[in-house]
Every structure is written in C-alpha cells, then in structure tokens.
C-alpha cells in the first residue's frame, strides 16, 4: 500500500432507483472510499448490499432512466458522474476496466472471441488487422489460455467457464487500465477454478501495477487479496479497515457475523454453523436507525433512534453505537 494521491476518490455516492407508481429505492447511500495506485480494495457484503450498483455507478453503466446518481467520483481530476458520455467512453476500457460476474452470459455468443478481444484494442489503441490479432494472442496467453491462435477463432460456447472468464479478464486488461473493477468474478465458477482466477487477477494486477476493486461476498477472497476492506450493508459502508485489522478484530457486529458464518475446517465435527439470523431483507430504513439493528445481537436502545454516524476509531471507520469490544468473542447465537 502506498500513501500517494488516490487514483479513485468516491465521495458521498448515492444511487436511487425510481419507479413509476412505486416507492423509490435507495440502493447506495452516502458511500465514500478511495483507491490508491496499486492498491487492492475489497467491497464486501451480502446480495443487495449495493456493492455491484456502486461499481456500475463508477463505470457509468447504470441505466439512464429511472436512476438518480448523486455525489462525486473523482478520477484524474475528472468527476466521472458529470463527464460527457463520449469522454466516459474513452475512459471505459482504457483507464478503468471491469470484469463481471457471469462469464457464461458476458460474452457475445455470435461473435468470435478474437473480435471481442481486438475490438477493445481497435477502439482505444488504434491497433488494426494483424497487429491487433498478435496483441490479442499475446493477451490470451498471458491470462493462461493455451493455444491462443485457435481460441481466437472460436466462439464463446466452445470455451469452458474458466476459459471464458480468463478471456474476459484479457479483454479488461487489454489496454493496461489503471483501475480494474472485478464484480464477483468467481461466483459463477467451480471452486477449483475460483482459486485459479483469483491467483491470476492477483498476478496480473501486480505485473501491471493496476489498482483493483474487488467486489465479493466471499471473505476468503478478501483475505487472500485485499489491502483495504469496506463492508457494506443495505447500501452503506458499515466498517472500513485494513485487511489484517479487520480479520484480527472485527468491530461491527455485521462484520463479526460474516466472519463467524464462514465454516471452519478445524471446528469439531458436528459443531453448528453460525449464520447471521434473519435475512438482508429485514432492514430498517437508515433514516430510522441502523439498518442492521433487526438482526443485530449487540442492539441497544439508541440503535433505532436514528442513523448511527460513520466514525473513525483507531485507524478504521465504523458505523456502530455498540461495537464488538477488543476481547469480545464474535457473537455466535
């Protein structure tokens, strides 16, 4: 981790989905975080916590209708949220790239892999014909796809899931972006392939010096990869800390619950699992208190009086009125 100027500075980002004849839904609410050059940042949370929407807002990929985006996303002195659409197109794929969740559906089924790789090079680096093809071949072999010349001519359905995700990573890294956003890149893959893909991302990010924003619900991925971790719940960041501090001592009861819910191999046989009680849909509106309160084992009276503020405590940010203490065992009810 370096202490230079942040590459990406997300300030007070909020995303609201409005529907005709329905209540509007605030999916992301006052989210702020920074990504420094070369840093790997984890955004962690359950489904529906707003982590994917955050990344799509940064990329400018949210639908234009029915969505209100507020706050600032500073990148290179530009605010990505107010940038003209064509300028944003120049940045996407060249300076900021993204790898998505499902490699099965993220590739165009009727276009050969080769064209889907070279089109990025043609768009941003003015490579054409044989030069572009050679560069694409090089990219595929760098992400560990054997026999790249043949693979370039094939269609997505002829590749396995892991291969497809490798191809998508090759496309994302084609123009050596300074920031890569990976949105649950391993969720749709076999467990054995997951580790390979994470390892590949780690290597490539180290080689190119790119920053990485890793969006995941898998704390194992975070533990092996990220420098800084932001835990999201119901559209807000509830705890931010360095990886070591977070794993050594989670302070927010939700973080604690996430860590406790990971099954352990060294636990005695037949020991119960420790899920977080309730479901992410049992939320309180943030305006009325802590959204996690309905599921929280550490809940105290003031939790439901109003939104708890995000406070800096000992090198981390925490949004909790009654955090887990230094010595307290992680709640396991």
Partner 1 sequence: MLKFVARRLLLLVPILFGLSVLLFVWLRALPGGPAQALLGERATADSVARIEALYGLNEPWYVQYWKFVSSAIQLDFGNSARTNRPVTEEMARTFPATFELAIAALIFAVGIGIPLGYYAAKKYGTWLDNVSVSGSLLGVAVPVFFLAYILKYVFSVQLGWFPTQGRQDPRIDADHPTGLYVLDGLITGNLEASWDAIMHLVLPAIALGAIPLAIIVRITRASVLDVVHEDYVRTAEAKGLWERTITRRHVLRNALLPVVTVIGLQAGLLFSGAILTETVFAFDGVGRFIAEAISNRDYAVLQGFILVIAAMYVVVNLLVDVSYGLIDPRVRVR
Residues of this chain that bind partner 1 (CB under 8 A) = 59, 61, 88-94, 97-98, 100, 102, 105-112, 115, 119-120, 123-124, 155, 157, 168, 171-172
CA separation for the pair 177, 297 (Å, rounded) = 43
Cβ(276)–Cβ(257) below 8 Å? yes
Given phi > 0 = left and psi -120 to 50 = alpha, else beta, which region is 147?
A: left
- 167-193 as b/e: b if 16+ CB within 10 A: bbbbbbbbbebbbbbbbbbbebbeeeb
Specify the residue, 103 or 144, whose C-beta has the smaller distance to partner 1: 103
Q: How far is the CB of 217 from partner 1 (least distance, A)?
A: 19
- The helix (run of H) or strand (run of E) holding residue 117 is helix 113-125
Task: Give CA–CA dist 245/249, Å, rounded.
Answer: 6
CB closer to partner 1, 90 vs 199: 90
Q: Toward partner 1, which CB reaches closer, 65 or 269? A: 65
Helices 113-125 and 129-142, interaxial angle, to 10°? 110
Identity of the residue, 120 or 291, whose beta carbon is nearer to partner 1 in the bound complex: 120
Q: Evaluate whether 255 touches 237 at the Cβ level (below 8 Å).
A: no
279 in Cβ contact with 258 (< 8 Å): no
Q: Which CB, 93 or 289, lies closer to partner 1?
A: 93
- Least distance (Å) from partner 1 to the CB of residue 55? 10
Collapsing DSSP to helix, strand or coil, 129 comes out as helix
User: Cβ of residue 200: shortest distance to partner 1, in angstroms?
Assistant: 18
Closest distance between partner 1 and the C-beta of residue 140, in Å? 16
Least distance from partner 1 to the Cβ atom of residue 98, Å: 4
Least distance in angstroms from the C-beta of 46 to partner 1: 21
Question: In terms of CB distance, is 205 or 324 closer to partner 1?
Answer: 205
**CA distances for 247 relative to 196, 220, 328, angstroms:** 23, 11, 14
CB of 20 to partner 1, least distance (A): 10
CB of 88 or CB of 331, closer to partner 1: 88
Candidates 293, 222, 233; CA nearest to 262 is: 222
């Amino acid at each position: 981790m370096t202490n230079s100027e942040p590459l990406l500075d997300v300030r007070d980002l909020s995303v609201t989905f409005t529907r005709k004849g329905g209540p509007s839904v605030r999916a992301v609410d006052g989210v702020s975080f920074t990504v420094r050059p070369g840093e790997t940042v984890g955004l962690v949370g359950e489904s529906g916590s707003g982590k994917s929407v955050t990344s799509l807002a940064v990329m400018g990929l949210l639908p234009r209708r029915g969505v209100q985006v507020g706050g600032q996303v500073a990148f290179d002195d530009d605010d990505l949220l107010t940038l003209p659409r064509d300028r944003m197109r120049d940045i996407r794929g060249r300076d900021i790239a993204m790898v998505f969740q499902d490699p099965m559906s993220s590739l165009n089924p009727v276009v050969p892999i080769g064209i889907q790789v070279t089109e990025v090079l043609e768009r941003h680096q003015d490579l054409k014909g044989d030069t572009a093809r050679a560069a694409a071949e090089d990219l595929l072999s760098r992400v560990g796809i054997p026999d790249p010349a043949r693979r370039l001519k094939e269609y997505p359905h002829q590749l396995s899931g892991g291969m497809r995700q490798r191809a998508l990573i090759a496309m994302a890294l084609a123009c050596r972006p300074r920031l890569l956003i990976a949105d649950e890149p391993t969720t749709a893959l076999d467990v054995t392939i997951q580790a390979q893909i994470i390892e590949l991302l780690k290597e490539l990010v180290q080689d190119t010096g790119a920053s990485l924003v890793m969006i995941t619900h898998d704390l194992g991925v975070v533990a092996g990869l990220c420098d800084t971790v932001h835990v999201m719940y119901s559209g807000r960041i509830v705890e931010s800390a360095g990886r070591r501090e977070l794993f050594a001592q989670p302070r927010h009861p939700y973080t604690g619950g996430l860590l406790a819910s990971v099954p352990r191999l060294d636990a005695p046989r037949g020991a119960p699992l420790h899920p977080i009680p309730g479901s992410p849909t049992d939320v309180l509106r943030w305006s009325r208190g802590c959204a996690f309160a309905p599921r929280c084992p550490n809940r105290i009276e003031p939790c439901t009086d109003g939104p708890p503020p995000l406070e800096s405590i000992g090198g981390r940010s925490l949004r909790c009125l009654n955090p887990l203490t230094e010595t307290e065992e992680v709640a396991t009810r």
